[in-house]
Homo-oligomer: A and B are copies of this chain.
Amino acid sequence: MSQQSVTMADVAKAAGVSRTTVSFVLNGRMESSIPESTRERINQAARDLGYRPNAAARTLASKRSSWFGLVTEIATSPFATDVIKGAQQAAWEDGNFLLVAPSDAEPGMDHRAVEKLLEQQVGGLIIATTWHREITVPANARAVPCVLVNCFDADGEFPSVVPDEIGGGYVAAEILANAGHTNIGHITVATGIPAQIGRQTGMKQALREHGIEQDDSKIVPGDGTADSGYHGTQTLLSQPDPPSAIFCGNDRIAMGAYDAIKELGLRVGEDISIVGFDDQEILAPHMRPKLTTIALPFEEMGLAGVSLLNQMVEGSPIENRQITIGCPPRIRSSVALHGQR
């Protein structure tokens, strides 16, 4: 109906020049010598007619598209948002678009998603996961430059961007150590995944450097739920020498820990200090007291992924194929000074 699309030819006619000239002017090709007067005339005509370039035609003719594909598990995640946001932002600034495809549910879905994206002529691919882990990349993803975000492949064939779990664990423990705590508990986020291994490694290192030794009984396995935090905390606090501080593997665990502590008649951030992990925005700043935690830099990871992809598409050499993004602490009110004075 109102599909009265104005084409370059229309603009050309209106300005009294050829399509070629219009193309040069509108794309800002300066190497062709076209006087300011003509440029202005063409731009004016384009504006008057309400000219809107046809991206499909452009893609076809130039063999270069203005978008990247992002494959992610939309389903289970408040995190996906942040990755998308960061990637979106970076792409948008270069005039690029993000085509988001879901990789949920059945296996093989990701292969189909990549296939669909390739059909759309994406210039590059980002594959992102909601929790940090190893994945096997669908074979067809090799057709274009591809970057992994929050995940990695076994042989390191693909460049990847992951959070610095070790650094995060280190900072968490350091915060507690610096506050004077020497008896520190830890409830793990899960067992055997990069998040748990990294965070625990970082914690151990920080404690060692502060001359604190941590008994194995102070580390209790959790499963990422508030329930596991609740029970883990009960376990820790019922020991003969209960810790004065607990590093919780994630914010939900911290949430459960709060409940257990309060039920025992103790006060979080006074009697017992807590540090979480993830910095979930609808959780951590709203807990009482507000949770001190370590942020997972999803937005920055999405951003870094797109930057990396841009470099690859432009053919620049990649100096660093394994980018880790720092996990910055968010100091709030759940850690108390503990001390010997």
Contacts and interface: CB of A to CB of B under 8 A. Distances in A.
A41 B281 CA distance: 56
Interface residues of A, number: 53
Interface in A71-129: 74-75, 77-78, 80-81, 84-85, 88-89, 92, 97-102, 115-116, 118-121
29 contacts: A2-B143, A3-B63, A52-B118, A54-B119, A55-B120, A56-B56, A56-B60, A56-B65, A60-B60, A74-B81, A74-B85, A75-B85, A78-B78, A78-B282, A88-B100, A88-B101, A88-B102, A92-B101, A97-B99, A97-B101, A97-B116, A98-B100, A100-B100, A225-B286, A226-B286, A230-B288, A255-B287, A280-B282, A282-B283
A59 interface: yes
Contacts of A286: 225-227, 252, 255-256
Contacts of A63: 3
A281 B81 CA distance: 14
Contacts of A230: 288
A282 B252 contact: yes
Question: How many subunits of this chain does the assembly comprise?
Answer: 2
Interface in A276-322: 280-283, 286-288
Nearest to A120: B55
A84 B78 contact: no
A29 interface: no
A60 B54 contact: yes
B121 A54 contact: yes
Interface in A214-259: 225-227, 230, 252, 255-256, 259
Contacts of A121: 54-56
A296 to B, nearest CB: 13
A262 interface: yes
Given A74-B84, A78-B281, A262-B262, 11 more contacts: A55-B56, A74-B81, A74-B85, A78-B81, A88-B100, A97-B99, A99-B99, A225-B286, A256-B286, A256-B288, A280-B282
Interface string A54-72: 1111011001010000000
User: Which of A56, A78, A99, A118 is the most central at the interface, judged by chain B CB atoms within 10 Å of its CB?
Assistant: A56
A53 interface: yes
Nearest to A60: B56
A280 B55 CA distance: 38
A1 to B, nearest CB: 9
A53 B60 CA distance: 12
Contacts of A74: 81, 84-85, 88
Nearest to A82: B74
Contacts of A57: 56, 60
Contacts of A225: 286
A102 B60 CA distance: 25
A255 B142 CA distance: 47
Nearest to A92: B102
